[in-house]
Structure 1
């Protein structure tokens, strides 16, 4: 039985199963959706890139944050791993969706923070803040308003909350 809004599980006959009352999300499109969300947020100056700037932003205005994209930690980098675990816990406590992505280098490229020299410079985390042009009546809704593309990522997050391990979205180049 499928409890989440969105499903993408294979049934016994090999076909993808879908909840009767919910649309099916093609997980292969998630990387492109993330690229679109990052491009829009970057254009509107709503994108905070990097672990320390993200932590500072969340400390000041967690209620203005709509989503966190978090790259998988590299093996052997225990300090970055500890910071990402704490960041993830903070987001969970504040009901901020956390979507894991496969590569800090690809995330940096999509955020526009790569250097010309390359060299594996990455971005561990990207925070997307709310669009101030979308009206928000805090009495009706406790979470910040999102556009349709951002909402589709939030729906994916909600649908996969009970999956273990958490799914990791493969980002496009």
Structure 2
């Protein structure tokens, strides 16, 4: 059950709720990194979505102002968004790439900057928050941080905002 009501999201406290969701998202990403239940990179995400979309619980699309001019990236985003909407995968846009890089380490195993434009949180081979395969919705409710993020996505869809934007709070 979502803890946020439509009135709470549309009230003057929206900025406070956005901070709460941003903090929850940071917690979700940290847990996913520890549990190896995260896929980082546009092409890696597309491969996973192609073979195993049922195990994806959240899709993050991240971009800075300079990335808004990258037509190829925007086409990838459009295709990924459409696929996620069709497969009932929660989607968020993240606008603070530098904070996202801090949370996720910012580089791949070879030391090259990681492609943080698309990130999937999935259940994969390990369990995320005690995943229940018969009832995935119940599994999401077991993790309070993931529940906050999923509820925010759901409430945003109720307001016809299919891809809400979150700015990760600075530390």
Both structures adopt the same fold (TM-score exceeding 0.5): yes
Q: TM-score, normalised by structure 1?
A: 0.75
Of structures 1 and 2, the one scoring higher in RCO (CA 8 A, sep 6+) is 2
Q: CA RMSD in A?
A: 2.9
In the alignment, structure 1 residue 168 sits paired with structure 2 residue 169 = no
Q: How many pairs are equivalent?
A: 155
> 1:36 is matched with which residue: 16, 20, 27?
27
Gaps of 5+ in 2: none
Tell me how far 1:143 sits from its aligned partner: 4.9
Gaps of 5+ in 1: 18-24
CA contact (8 A) 1:38 1:111 kept: yes
Structure showing the higher helix proportion among its residues: 2
Q: TM-score, normalised by structure 2?
A: 0.76
Q: Which has the larger radius of gyration?
A: 1
Report the CA distance shift for 1:165/1:152 in structure 2 as closer, same or farther (over 3 A): closer
In the alignment, structure 1 residue 159 sits paired with structure 2 residue 150 = no
Tell me how far 1:158 sits from its aligned partner: 0.3
CA contact (8 A) 2:61 2:93 kept: yes
Which residue matches 1:72?
Answer: 63
